[in-house]
Amino acid sequence: MWYFSWVLGVGFAVLLPVLNAMWGEASDARTQRAEER
């Protein structure tokens, strides 16, 4: 049953950088929109 923890670990290792990049893009877009006003 070791593969369950392996799959979960790999899933989080892939998911966290993707979410971080998406959050960074959204945050950057928010600050650019605020600066335009």
Mean predicted lDDT score pLDDT of the chain: 93
Rounded Cα gap, residues 10 and 4, in angstroms:
10
Q: How far apart are CA 35 and CA 28, in angstroms?
A: 11
For residue 36, pLDDT over 90 is answered with no
pLDDT at 37 over 80: no
pLDDT band at 9 (very low <50, low <70, confident <90, very high): very high
Query: Is the pLDDT higher at 33 or at 12?
Result: 12
Using a cut of 0.95, tell me whether the model's pTM lies above it.
no
